[in-house]
Amino acid sequence: MLTPAAAVSQDRNARTAASVQAGGVRRTIPRVAARASSAAWYVYLLRCSDGTLYTGSTNDLTAREQKHNDGRGAKYTAGRRPVRVVYSEVCASRSAAQAREAEMKRCTRATKEALVLGRQRA
C-alpha cells in the first residue's frame, strides 16, 4: 500500500513526459503541455440524417465524427445518425476554434449551407 506522499509522487511521475537537465537545473515538462501545443483544432459542420446541420469543434476530426456516429457525441446528433462532416476549418488554438464555433452557431442556415457549398465565409 502506498503512503499518501508516495501516491502523489507516483501520480506526478505518471503525468510527466520528459525531464530536461540543463545547466544543473532539472525541469519536468508535463505531457498535457507537450500534446496541446502540437494539436490542430477544427470547427466543423455535420449533416445529420434528417438534413439538419450541427456545429462543433475538436482536435481530432475523424475520431469526433466516429463518436457522433457511435451515439457518444452530442445529444443532438445521437438521434439523427448517421452524420457526416460536410465542412471544416483549421484554427490556431482551442480558444480560436471555440470562438469560431460560437460565431458559426449564430449564422443562419442559409449562411451555413453557403459555407458547405464553398460560396462564402460566414
Instruction: Map grid coordinates 452524420 to a residue.
Output: 83
Kindly write down the DSSP assignment for every residue of 42-95, as one continuous string. Answer: EEEEEE-TTS-EEEEEES-HHHHHHHHHTT-S-HHHHTS-S-EEEEEEEESSHH
Domain annotation for the chain: domains and CATH numbers: 38-117 (3.40.1440.10)
The confidence score (pLDDT) of residue 25 equals 58
What are φ and ψ of residue 44, in 5° steps?
A: -140, 160
pTM of the model: 0.68
pLDDT per residue, tens digit, the chain (122 aa), is 555 555 544 544 444 444 445 556 555 544 444 444 558 999 999 999 999 999 999 999 999 999 999 999 999 999 999 999 999 999 999 999 999 999 999 999 999 999 999 876 66
Distance CA 58, CA 94 (A): 8
Q: Which three cell numbers stand for residue 111?
A: 449562411
